[in-house]
Structure 1
Amino acid sequence: MVLVEKLEQLKSIFAEMECALIAYSGGVDSTLVAKVAYDVLGDRAVAVTAESASLLPEELEDARIQAAAIGISHRIVQTQEMENPNYTSNPVNRCYFCKSELHDTLKPLARQMGYPYVVDGVNADDLRDYRPGIQAAKERGARSPLAEVGITKAEVRELSQKLGLPWWDKPAQPCLSSRFPYGEEITLPKLQRVGRAEVYLQKLGWKTLRVRSVGDTAKIELPVEQIQNFVASTDLPALVSKFQELGFVYVTLDLEGFQSGKLNQVLTPAKIPVTS
């Protein structure tokens, strides 16, 4: 199916819904969903962003700016996943408890507003990875129009560009809790530490990156083709000093390079719990 046909199918889904609440993170996926929903539904679409410790303040500000540019009504709610030990203990299905908290917050809000649907930005590629949060959303009746139509991540970016969204090439920015290996406890200071480290690197001009936190060690991931330039052009002593100021003891560079979802490499079927 050509992309223009997928876009028309996406529009048809929203037309049939008549109104929709968008679980809106400000990432490229949910922003495309918000854009199409607003184009079809106008003021019968609302974007709602969950503010929590795992979301960078810069990402929340981006979400505000992008929603305003689209024109869609934007609301912010608070979620409390950090109060759930099932989340902070960082099991392999941590995302299940995060999305449970999110949708347990959004679903009553949607009902209160008279909106029958909560819609998220899950795309077709997400269905091929281990994403326990998708199960939590489905259990609560959320819909994923991008996945329903079969729109991939690359197609999300292509459609966003065609629709004139200036952030079509925005790097993926999953929640900060994804920076920690499974089993390592997640705390507010750890989230803040890794978040500020990534912002520091972004301000140096490195856009696609992760800072993985393993105990007291920061592991910097960059696209493998950028590693040589990074080492040659970066004031490494200043970088190490900054990271140590943030609370890390050791700073390393992952020579394997950036890979989204890298921490899922350790998972085997025996390690993946069945969540009911």
Structure 2
Amino acid sequence: MTEQLDEKLARLYEVLQGYESMALGFSGGVDSTFLAAACARAIPHAAVLMHLINPFAGTPEVQAVRELTEHNEPTSSDKTVMGLPLIEIPFDPFDEDKIVRNAPDRCYQCKRAGFSRIVEAAQARGISVVFDGSNADDSYDDRPGMRALRELGVLSPLMETGWHKAEEREMLRRWGVPIWNMPAGACLATRIATGEALSAEKLDAVRACEDYLHGCGLKQVRARLSGDTVRIEAAPDDLDRLATMATTDEDAGGRELRMDARKEPDDGVCIPPSIVHELQRLSRRTVNPVARTYRYGGSSPVGMP
């Protein structure tokens, strides 16, 4: 394993060193952080990181960027990540009607709009090559976002050199980069049912629910919103955690009750009532009391369960 990774890393370095200058779309997730770390080692004077500041980013990714960002001097506004310049680019998807209406092509429209700004910012600095963090795992997906990247001429060196996320995590762990074990994330817009218009209030509700569940010790969760209902999805380990979690509630007579979350016959887990209550308070919506297994791309069309 070590020898294979070393050979693959050498190949990645070779590809990176073929460019005089480049800009990397940096989100703070595992993929773009690994590519940034590789650039810092292979082409430290030729790479610039470009980070979109936008309301669709999940809290874990926002915190990861904050933790990785360094200020060159206490009074300096210049920021770096692993020694590479970090350029922050404001991007408000709510200004784009094609994104807000949340049609089936929303991911394509959002990726194209966001990376168009990165490409423009790079070109303004005389940089003609833009990278993103897509890897070999993404090559098996028919992702609309990938089509947008190709149309813009954005390159994916991790995909080109065959890197998988598990390998990236191992290298980040080896290099001592703290986010190596951060669960995979996705923009908050993916939590809203397809066809239901996006709004800041809806994304704030999603963020509040997921932040609360992370605070309860769950690692990979999704708060899916459809109309006036929120349903929770979680990774299997997190469902097991919910299944063994006990909560103390008070009934109408003031008597304390202890109840363990019970597993449903179909891969579901009953969410402890106190957690359901808090999620309803945070989201101002009805919360399905049964959590299900996390499904990639689980934002169903409006009207679907």
Query: TM-score, normalised on structure 2?
Result: 0.81
Residues 1:243 and 2:245 are matched in the alignment? no
Tell me the equivalent position of 2:83. 71
Tell me the equivalent position of 1:60. 62
**2:273 is aligned with what amino acid?**
P
Instruction: Say if 1:215 and 1:77 are closer, same or farther in 2 by CA, change over 3 A.
Output: same
Q: How big is each residue's C-alpha offset from its partner over 1:6-41, in whole Å with a ceiling of 9 and x where there is no partner? A: 211111111111221110000000000111111112
Q: Tell me, in whole angstroms, the C-alpha distance in 2 between the residues paired with 1:59 and 1:3.
A: 26
Residues 1:39 and 2:41 are matched in the alignment? yes
Q: Which runs of 5+ in 2 are unaligned?
A: 71-80, 248-271
Q: How big is each residue's C-alpha offset from its partner over 1:117-174, in whole Å with a ceiling of 9 and x where there is no partner? A: 1110001111212311111111111110110111122222222223332211110111
- 1:192-203 aligned within 5 A: 192-203=204-215
Does the aligned pair in 1 maintain the 2:220–2:238 contact within 8 Å?
A: no
**1:74 is aligned with what amino acid?**
L
- 1:9-48 aligned within 5 A: 9-48=11-50
Q: How big is each residue's C-alpha offset from its partner over 1:55-84, in whole Å with a ceiling of 9 and x where there is no partner? A: 135532321322436222112111132222
User: How far apart are residue 221 of structure 1 and its match?
Assistant: 1.1
Instruction: Say if 1:187 and 1:205 are closer, same or farther in 2 by CA, change over 3 A.
Output: same
Q: Tell me, in whole angstroms, the C-alpha distance in 2 between the residues paired with 1:234 and 1:78.
A: 43
Tell me the equivalent position of 1:3. 5
**2:23 is aligned with what amino acid?**
L
Does the aligned pair in 2 maintain the 1:158–1:168 contact within 8 Å?
A: yes
Instruction: Say if 1:58 and 1:167 are closer, same or farther in 2 by CA, change over 3 A.
Output: closer
Partner SS, residue 48 of structure 1:
strand
Q: Tell me, in whole angstroms, the C-alpha distance in 1 between the residues paired with 2:66 and 2:292.
A: 35
Q: Tell me, in whole angstroms, the C-alpha distance in 2 between the residues paired with 1:52 and 1:43.
A: 27
Tell me the equivalent position of 1:233. 245
Task: Report the structure, 1 or 2, having the larger helix content.
Answer: 1
Residues 1:175 and 2:187 are matched in the alignment? yes
Does the aligned pair in 1 maintain the 2:58–2:186 contact within 8 Å?
A: no
Q: Among the aligned pairs, what percent are the same residue?
A: 31
**Larger Rg over CA atoms:** 2
Tell me the equivalent position of 1:126. 138
Deviates more, 1:250-259 or 1:103-112: 250-259
Tell me the equivalent position of 1:103. 115
Q: How big is each residue's C-alpha offset from its partner over 1:90-123, in whole Å with a ceiling of 9 and x where there is no partner? A: 1222111111111210111111212121110001
User: What is the root-mean-square deviation in Å for CA atoms of aligned residues?
Assistant: 2.2
Task: Report the structure, 1 or 2, having the larger strand content.
Answer: 2
**1:257 is aligned with what amino acid?**
T
Deviates more, 1:65-74 or 1:97-106: 65-74
Does the aligned pair in 2 maintain the 1:218–1:248 contact within 8 Å?
A: no
Deviates more, 1:186-195 or 1:250-259: 250-259
Q: Tell me, in whole angstroms, the C-alpha distance in 1 between the residues paired with 2:291 and 2:58.
A: 26
Instruction: Say if 1:253 and 1:50 are closer, same or farther in 2 by CA, change over 3 A.
Output: farther
Instruction: Say if 1:201 and 1:43 are closer, same or farther in 2 by CA, change over 3 A.
Output: same
Query: TM-score, normalised on structure 1?
Result: 0.88
Aligned pairs, number: 266
User: How far apart are residue 225 of structure 1 and its match?
Assistant: 4.2
Does the aligned pair in 2 maintain the 1:64–1:74 contact within 8 Å?
A: no
Residues 1:220 and 2:232 are matched in the alignment? yes
- 1:151-170 aligned within 5 A: 151-170=163-182
Aligned with 2:288 (options 243, 249, 252): 252
Partner SS, residue 18 of structure 2:
helix
Does the aligned pair in 2 maintain the 1:117–1:142 contact within 8 Å?
A: yes
Instruction: Say if 1:111 and 1:93 are closer, same or farther in 2 by CA, change over 3 A.
Output: same
Q: How big is each residue's C-alpha offset from its partner over 1:182-207, in whole Å with a ceiling of 9 and x where there is no partner? A: 11211110011101110111111111
Partner SS, residue 172 of structure 2:
helix
Deviates more, 1:25-34 or 1:116-125: 116-125
User: How far apart are residue 240 of structure 1 and its match?
Assistant: 2.3
Instruction: Say if 1:253 and 1:17 are closer, same or farther in 2 by CA, change over 3 A.
Output: farther
Aligned with 2:220 (options 166, 188, 208): 208
Tell me the equivalent position of 2:256. none
